[in-house]
Structure 1
Amino acid sequence: MPRLPTAFAALALAFAADSAAAEEGNRNAWSGDRTARLEALALLQTLNADLLSHDSATLTLDRWCAAHRLADPPRIVAERVKGADKPATDEQRRLLGVGPDEPVAYRRVRLACGGHVLSEADNWYVPARLTPDMNHTLQTSDTAFGRVVQPLRFQRRTLSADLLWSPLPQGWEMGAPPPAEPALAVPHAVLQHRAVLVLPDGTPFSTLVETYTGAVLDFPEPARR
């Protein structure tokens, strides 16, 4: 008999947790009407502009995380994807200014704010152009690349910035109706940047591909008055 109350209590707790998760999901779900779509598009364009105007994507996401209260403390943490390997292509070696035999390291991370993965980043970098301490940190920790190399006072040269998804259909400004959806269906990937990081003297040391996820909108839809 003692097992029945214990099992029942565990079931009740699981149900409560599922209900809370469902409530949280509903709280952060955006409606599918035109106003919500315009707001979502404006936010994506704002994030895009912020990323383009700053050298460190990590610090930009720190600010985004704090401004939209995605976590407490609002700090981006890098989650390394271990075991992943993508050798640098000839084009990437050209961008880095290295020959076919010079070592180029690869690192893939997910940049998360609390439980929200905001970006997935592929990074190829030249170890010889970093300090030994930086290389050790990159190899042995989950610290975001931008934080590790921040003392280099690097600059970011954007190669491309592509909006992968628009909340509004093509021709919306001419009256094209939005999709008939009760809630905004945000895909996994919404924005992608390709860039090269260079030292103050212009020497490139990293090339990267950053894919920003729909989790950048994981906060309640703006209230309407």
Structure 2
Amino acid sequence: MMLAAALLVSAAPWPDTPQARVEALAVLQTLNANLLSHDSATLTLDRWCADHHIAQPATVVAERVRGEDKPATADIRAALKVTPDMPVAYRRVRLRCGDHVLSDADNWYVPARLTAAMNDALEQSDIAFGRAVQALHFARHTLSATLLWSPLPDGREMTGLPGMPLRPGRLAIPDHVLEHRAILATPDGTPFSLVVESYTSAVLDFPPPAG
């Protein structure tokens, strides 16, 4: 189901044409497939930023959002397989490539299942979670992957693109375009993190393919 969101004008010059809309949908589907086929969202965004020349250097960094706390719900605790009295930490970050915020991420994790060095890094720095726990050789188990916006109208398979309404100027894109929910687990299957990642319109901050 599509989520309502305020429309923004993309920082990149995506025109509001049928061809650009088809290309934008293909780009989002490619990003979604890349995220689903790799365990680390951070490393996937590194490659995305580099491949699409979004910023130089093409390295994703985490920007901590402090002063917010979202205690783990009963459902989150159940997904993490923790007892009611086991501490679950919360961390919110923006994943940024240069000046482009590609993702907002909420992360609930179990400190007791990480090393002391990992916990220190997560508490005291802005390191991306995937980089901090990379030594665990974790696996990512996707719970849901939701396209929050489609550049093409519903029913296009019946009406086709020529009848699609156009707005003049650049393509208006919502603030967030894709959401993933996933569990990170150690090789033996022990879950240690639940993440909710909301990918922003900045994943399209590059010129559309020449057509």
Task: Classify 1:199/1:26 alpha carbon distance in 2 versus 1 (closer, same or farther; 3 Å).
Answer: closer
Q: Shift of residue 26 of structure 1?
A: 8.7
- Which structure 2 segments of 5+ residues have no match? 1-8
Contact 1:27 1:220 in 2 (8 A): no
Alignment of 1:66-81 (within 5 A): 66-81=50-65
Contact 2:10 2:202 in 1 (8 A): no
1:168-192 deviation digits (Å, cap 9, x = unpaired)? 0001122253332122101101000
State whether structure 2 residue 186 is matched by structure 1 residue 199.
yes
Question: TM-score if structure 1 supplies the norm length?
Answer: 0.86
State whether structure 2 residue 174 is matched by structure 1 residue 222.
no
Which amino acid in structure 1 is aligned with residue 181 of structure 2? R
Normalized per residue, the structure richer in strand is 2
Instruction: Give the Cα separation in 2 of the matches to 1:26 and 1:120.
Output: 17
Instruction: Give the Cα separation in 1 of the matches to 2:158 and 2:13.
Output: 27
Q: Which residue of 2 aligns with 1:175?
A: 159
Task: Classify 1:169/1:136 alpha carbon distance in 2 versus 1 (closer, same or farther; 3 Å).
Answer: same
Moved more, 157-166 or 27-36: 27-36
Paired-residue identity, %: 66
Normalized per residue, the structure richer in helix is 1
Structure 1 stretches of at least 4 aligned residues deviating more than 3 Å after TM superposition: none
What is the number of equivalent residue pairs in this alignment? 200
Which amino acid in structure 1 is aligned with residue 195 of structure 2? L
The structure number with the bigger radius of gyration is 1
Question: TM-score if structure 2 supplies the norm length?
Answer: 0.92
Which amino acid in structure 2 is aligned with residue 163 of structure 1? L
State whether structure 2 residue 133 is matched by structure 1 residue 146.
no
Q: Which residue of 1 aligns with 2:6?
A: none
Task: Classify 1:92/1:188 alpha carbon distance in 2 versus 1 (closer, same or farther; 3 Å).
Answer: same
Instruction: Give the Cα separation in 1 of the matches to 2:14 and 2:56.
Output: 22
| Aligned pair partner of 2:98 in 114, 123, 129 | 114
Q: SS at 1:201's partner residue?
A: coil
Task: Classify 1:174/1:85 alpha carbon distance in 2 versus 1 (closer, same or farther; 3 Å).
Answer: same
Q: SS at 2:174's partner residue?
A: coil
Alignment of 1:32-71 (within 5 A): 32-71=16-55
Instruction: Give the Cα separation in 2 of the matches to 1:160 and 1:125.
Output: 18
Q: Shift of residue 32 of structure 1?
A: 0.7
- Which structure 1 segments of 5+ residues have no match? 1-24
Which amino acid in structure 2 is aligned with residue 144 of structure 1? A
Q: Which residue of 2 aligns with 1:210?
A: 197
1:29-53 deviation digits (Å, cap 9, x = unpaired)? 2111110000000000000000000
